[in-house]
Amino acid sequence: MKHGFKLALALSLALFLCIPSTGFCQETIKVGIILPATGEKAKFGEIERKSFEMALEEINAAGSAQGKKIDDRMDNLIHASANHEDAEREIKLWFKPNDIPPLMRPYPTAASEAFYYYQDGKLLDAHKAGAVCLLAPGEPVWSSDLDALHAIRSGGEPSCSLNAVAAKYMINEGKENA
């Protein structure tokens, strides 16, 4: 087991033990880590989870902390989805790619190559008074959303509606379609 992972676990535990909480009254101390559980990086999350469990076993076998058993706590911090499809839909709805650090993005992204404006349920190529800029050149975008915008712009069949894509990029920006 790598020393860096053990050190991170030990530091997390030390921080937990230094903060007064009801954890001291319990027989088990819960410790958790942040890792990718869905998307293309889920395989790395599985490796991290197994490493974390191995470290817990070693620590507990060595006597644990203050005589208390250390147990894992695996909470889904981003979404409470029932399956991978729901997770992808929810993550892409509530988070823009630049809300998530590049190496932790669970789904493919691309850089917008053009401006995409939205007004009255229509996709515009150029700015018009009252239009909202959904994407600018170079801005990170979920690849599936960019594919949908390309399909809409070329008259093809998009994987989702323009309103669905627009909502994702407007929801947390306070943008309104004036």
More confident residue, 21 or 165: 165
Give one word for 57, left, alpha or beta, with left for phi > 0 and alpha for psi -120 to 50.
alpha
The rounded distance, in Å, linking the Cα atoms of 19 and 11 is: 13
Asked if residue 140 lies in contact with residue 132, where contact means CB atoms within 8 angstroms, the answer is: no
pLDDT, mean of residues 42-69: 83
Give dist(CA 89, CA 114) in Å, integer. Answer: 24
User: Cα–Cα distance between 52 and 82 in angstroms, integer?
Assistant: 24
Indicate the number of domains in the chain: 2
- Range(s) of the domain holding residue 162: 85-170
Of 72, 101, 131, the residue that ends a domain is 72
Report if residue 15 sits inside a domain: yes
d(CA 113, CA 137): 5
Query: In the predicted model, is pLDDT for residue 126 greater than 90?
Result: yes
Is the residue at 17 inside a domain? yes
146 in Cβ contact with 96 (< 8 Å): no
At 5-49, the pLDDT tens digits run: 554 544 454 444 444 444 445 678 888 777 777 667 778 888 888
pLDDT in tens, 98-123: 888 888 888 899 999 999 999 999 99
Instruction: Report pLDDT for 174.
Output: 57
Do 93 and 159 belong together in one domain?
Answer: yes
Q: What is the mean pLDDT of residues 137-157?
A: 95
Looking at the structure, do residues 95 and 142 belong to the same domain, yes or no?
yes
Q: What is the mean pLDDT of the chain?
A: 79
Mean pLDDT in residue range 61-67:
77
